[in-house]
């Protein structure tokens, strides 16, 4: 709307080109079918679940959508979904690890307490199991605090399924609502000293 992008355009174009090349090349994907396993090309999957590039929704498409039937993706929606899949599966993890390392370096007492818990519950690599990890409550508190301070997503969009009233606000059915994570998670009315890295604020975990 303002002519600016959060994600650099050249980065988006890079991933977009990878997806388009894979699509045009007809990369084969293993897909299970009823009664037997078979191969289906990306082209076949795309044509089954999307509109052709440049297609305009037909009256039948609109009727199916109104009836709640599955809607085919447009070409741009297909590309956007794949770009988000690639970026969300990598960038969120690397950014979280960067922020967690930074905060732990600034808070050696938190780091020591977390290491003590890990060493106590998993003294050897072989002891690191799902059951053991689920008992590491302080580690979970550190993770939750990192996500609070550095949310991996700036905001989320949701459409109201029905008209609801929340306090003095009425949200009508079909309204697009933006949920800004960073301002909420740094709101002094919700969090005491929100700029402080304090894992123990999550003691209820």
pLDDT tens digits, 96-118: 899 999 999 999 999 999 999 99
The residue ranking higher by pLDDT, 28 or 143, is: 143
The residue ranking higher by pLDDT, 125 or 75, is: 125
Verdict on whether the full-model pTM lies above 0.85: no
The torsion angles phi and psi of 24, rounded to 5 degrees, stand at -65, -30
User: Looking at residue 58, what is its pLDDT?
Assistant: 66
Cα distance between residue 182 and residue 190, in whole Å = 12
Tell me what the mean pLDDT of segment 18-43 comes to. Answer: 54
The residue ranking higher by pLDDT, 186 or 38, is: 186
Assigned token pair, 69: 């039937």
Handedness of CA 112, 113, 114, 117 (dihedral sign): positive
Any alpha helices (H) in the chain, and if so which ranges? 9-25, 42-49, 59-66, 75-106, 108-121, 130-134, 137-149, 181-185
């Amino acid at each position: 709307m303002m002519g600016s992008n959060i994600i650099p355009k050249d980065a988006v174009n890079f991933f977009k080109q990878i997806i388009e090349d894979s699509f045009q090349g007809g990369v084969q994907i293993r897909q299970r079918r009823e009664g037997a396993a078979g191969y289906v090309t990306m082209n076949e999957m795309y044509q089954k679940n999307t509109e052709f590039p440049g297609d305009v929704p037909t009256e039948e498409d609109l009727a199916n959508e109104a009836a709640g039937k599955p809607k085919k993706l447009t070409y741009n929606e297909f590309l956007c979904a794949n770009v988000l899949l690639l970026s969300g599966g990598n960038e969120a993890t690397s950014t979280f690890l960067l922020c967690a390392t930074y905060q732990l370096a600034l808070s050696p007492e938190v780091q020591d307490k977390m290491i003590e818990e890990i060493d106590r519950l998993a003294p050897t690599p072989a002891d690191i199991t799902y059951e053991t990890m689920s008992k590491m409550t302080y580690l979970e508190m550190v993770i939750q605090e990192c996500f609070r301070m550095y949310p991996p997503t700036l905001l989320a969009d949701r459409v109201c399924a029905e008209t609801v009233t929340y306090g003095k606000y009425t949200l009508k059915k079909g309204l697009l609502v933006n949920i800004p994570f960073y301002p909420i998670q740094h709101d002094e009315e919700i969090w005491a000293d929100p700029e402080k890295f304090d894992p123990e604020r999550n003691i209820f975990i």
